Amino acid sequence: MPTRLTPADVERIAALAHLELTASETERFTRQLGDILTYFDQLQHIDTTGVPATTNPVTSAPVMREDTPTPSLPRDEALANAPDPGGHGLFRVPKVIG
Amino acid sequence: MPAPDVQTTADIRAAMADGATAVEICSIYLARVAAENDAIHAFTHVAGEQALEDAAAVDASGQGRDAAFPLAGVPIAIKDNISTRGMPTTASSRILAGFVPPYDATVIERLRAAGAVIIGKTNCDEFAMGSTTEHSVSGPTRNPWDLSRVPGGSSGGSAAAVAARLSPIALGSDTGGSIRQPAAFCGIVGLKPTYGRVSRYGLLAFASSLDQIGPFALTVADVAVLLAAIAGPDPADATSSAEKVPSFPASLGEPVAHPTIGVPWKLLEDGVDADVSTAFTTAIDILRSQGATIVDVPLPHAVYAVPTYYVVAPAEASSNLARYDGVRFGFRAPAGPNRSDLDTMYNLTRDTGFGDEVKRRIMLGTYALSAGYYDAYYVKAQQVRTLIRRDYDTAFERVDAVAMPTTPTVAFGLGERSADPLRMYAGDVFTVSANLTGLPALSVPGGRDPSGLPVGLQFVGRAFDEATLLRLAANYERDAPCWREFPPTAALASGIPDPTR
């Protein structure tokens, strides 16, 4: 199993998850996440040879429906909660390309 | 005016049959909320005028005296992670500050059609991640039985509201025990339906293969009425089941004849507080005296349910919560000095918008799904999940339900566990299996500890057999009507005569 979690590991995970941690958060989460991952190690002792994975509890076959167009959310309602709706019927975001 | 002592939907409907209006009922509950919510902090939003308007519409419709509409005119509290059109829905998170959904969740549509009156949104752990309702941007909810203690979580606001008689019924969501555990801590009834029994459309997703919306009430009968109103297939949720929905309220009239109930005695050997054990043994004696046969069921993998759950749930959460990025809704962090690019906006928004517990779980899930660790954590946990389900399948070959305490302890003090996530997670040992397996599970008040704090008795049933759980619990409740005693806080404003003093 993986060795001890380091602050660099936590920074890498945070970057993958789009979180910019403060220095004190990195320190705290390194300790807490390390403890939790160690706790998970007990799962490795269970023999799961040949056991299928359960990804969800649904046992029935998926139900198909007709692909019929229905009204969708009006644009102004979809934009009503945007932090920066931009004023042109769009979501505005900070500059992407420098 | 009706008498001020209404508590259950039966009380409310009886008052309405005697001429009370839905507006009068709504006013009684809003007055209780106004008097007690500052101390308990069950509600984060009180619908006030909107609720009175909705109640007036019920009065105009005449549904309040129509037996086909058993919830018409009945106030209901809604956990703040369930979308309500035109009413704030934030999952108690800063990242959704100010969010007002443009549509209703399917359960809300069904409640409105049934004439129920939404009186407000209730506090919860942020995105339903937690067992105490302390992880909320608006501060903790307090347990009505003892204001220095937690109400449980994550649906702690809904449970506290019902326990304190601030709402007769409420909706919560249960991903790892978030309905049953607060129901136990607050001395009320809570049900996690079978996965797929209730539509999740409009529920802010935490872990999509585990989440279910479900009812809270003072009595099993009220839970049955509320479940009947929200259950059934929904084209908007592909995981909702086409399984036939029986008449839950009608099924209560007939107790299960000579039920066989399994108890996983070995699982209960370690880590259960002595007072909870004593209350559970007494509850089992009551079941036995009612004609139940109690047998031992091994459930050998149940002991691994907590670590399995804390791999699976965060993995799904890390994916579901990727949508909160400061673009389409909610909070956006201001740009940093000399850093105004898109990635910085995402990262700062998420770091300042999410609380610690949510960030821990997003990172745990990201780690468990990342290259090199996926098989060791995520796939392994999904395999153990299969073994846990098989244990239950084996048990249900010879029992009608499995019984155990809902929680290993009674409600603990505010702040007591918030610094130690692992200790917090350990308290979920008896609840998470029902989510991993999808099975229905119900918590009913199962006695008190010596200081008077409630203990929960849990029944787990076969898939889509909520009716058996409700019948067993209703029968138990008849001989142990704990719900009639109520917390000291509830008596203050409500004018309900307290039978115990």
What mean pLDDT is predicted for residues B148-153? 97
| Tally of domains within chain B | 1
pLDDT of residue B254: 87
pLDDT of residue B485: 81
Across residues B418-426, what is the average pLDDT? 90
What is the reported pLDDT for A93? 92
B27 counts as catalytic: no
Q: Is residue B334 in some structural domain? A: no
Residue B310: the pLDDT is 97
For chain A, domain boundaries: 7-44
Output the pLDDT for position B41: 98
Facing A58 at nearest CB: one of B239, B360, B366? B239
* Average pLDDT of span B411-439: 94
pLDDT 10s digits, B96-119: 999 999 999 999 999 999 999 999
Identify the pLDDT of residue A13.
96
Asked if the structure places residue B191 within a domain, the reply is yes
Confidence of residue B481 (pLDDT cuts 50, 70, 90): confident
Total-model pTM: 0.96
Residue B445 is assigned to a structural domain of this protein: yes
Supply the CATH number for residue B99's domain: 3.90.1300.10
The pLDDT assigned to B3 comes to: 58
Which of B344, B382, B422 lies at the smallest CB-CB distance from A39? B422
CA B189 to CA B183: how far, in whole Å?
6
Tell me the shortest Cα–Cα distance from A38 to chain B, in angstroms: 10
Q: What is the rounded distance in angstroms from the CA atom of residue B326 to the CA atom of residue A92?
A: 10
Q: Identify the residue with better confidence: B61 or B255.
A: B61
**Which residue bears the tokens 């390390």?**
A34
Top-level class of domain A7-44: mainly alpha
> At residue B491, does pLDDT exceed 80?
no
Task: From B140, B119, B128, B183, select the one nearest B42 (Cα to Cα).
Answer: B140
Whether residue B388 is contained in a domain is answered as no
Residue B466 φ/ψ, nearest 5 degrees: -60, -30
Among A55, A82, A91, select the one facing B209 at the smallest CB separation.
A55
The answer as to whether B325 is a domain residue is no
Local confidence band at A58 (pLDDT 50, 70, 90 cut-offs): confident
Nearest CA in chain A to B90: A81
Q: Which residue from B278, B51, B42, B59 is spatially nearest to B162, judged by alpha carbons?
A: B42
Taking residues B374-400, what's their average pLDDT? 97
**Chain pair A-B, CB pairs under 8 angstroms:** 175
Q: What is the mean pLDDT of chain A?
A: 91
Note the pLDDT of residue A50: 97
Give me the helix-helix angle, B220-230 and B9-17, nearest 10°: 80
User: Position B200: which residue type?
Assistant: R
Closest CA to B384 of B270, B303, B296: B303
B336 pLDDT above the threshold of 80: no
Q: Catalytic residue among B92, B136, B154, B240, which?
A: B154
Test B195 with A2 for CB contact under 8 angstroms. Answer: no
Q: Do A57 and B437 touch (CB under 8 A)?
A: yes
Q: Which two tokens stand for residue A56?
A: 């969800």
- Are A46 and B387 within 8 A, CB to CB? yes
pLDDT (0 to 100) of residue B482: 81
What local confidence, expressed as pLDDT, does residue B185 receive?
98
CA dist B457 to A66, B228, B298, B431, B463, Å?
44, 22, 19, 11, 19
Q: What is the pLDDT of residue B488?
A: 79
- Evaluate if residue B131 carries a pLDDT over 60: yes
**Contact at CB, A51 and B376, closer than 8 angstroms:** no
Contact B470, B251 (CB under 8 A): yes
Neighbours of B24 (CB within 10 A): 17
Q: Which pLDDT does position B501 carry in this prediction?
A: 39
Average pLDDT value for residue range B78-96? 98
**Nearest neighbour of B386 by CB, restricted to A43, A53, A73:** A53
What is the pLDDT, as a whole number, of residue B371? Answer: 87
Averaged pLDDT score across all residues of chain B: 94
Question: Cβ contact (<8 Å) for B322 and A52?
Answer: no
- For residue B495, pLDDT over 60 is answered with no
How many residues does the structure list for chain A?
A: 98
Residue B499's pLDDT is what?
43
| Active-site annotation holds for B79 | yes
B210 within 8 A of B317, measured Cβ to Cβ: no
Contacting residues of A for B330, CB less than 8 Å apart? 81, 83
B466 lies in a domain? yes
Measure A67 CA to nearest chain B CA, in Å. Answer: 12
Chain A residues in contact with B389 by the CB 8 A cut-off are 54, 57
CB contact under 8 A, A63 and B329: no
- Range with the lowest mean pLDDT among A1-5, B61-65, B71-75, B283-287? A1-5
Domain residue limits at B15: 9-254+441-493
By the 10 Å C-beta count (0-12 exposed, 13-18 middle, 19+ buried), B159 is classed as buried
What does the pLDDT read at residue B38?
95
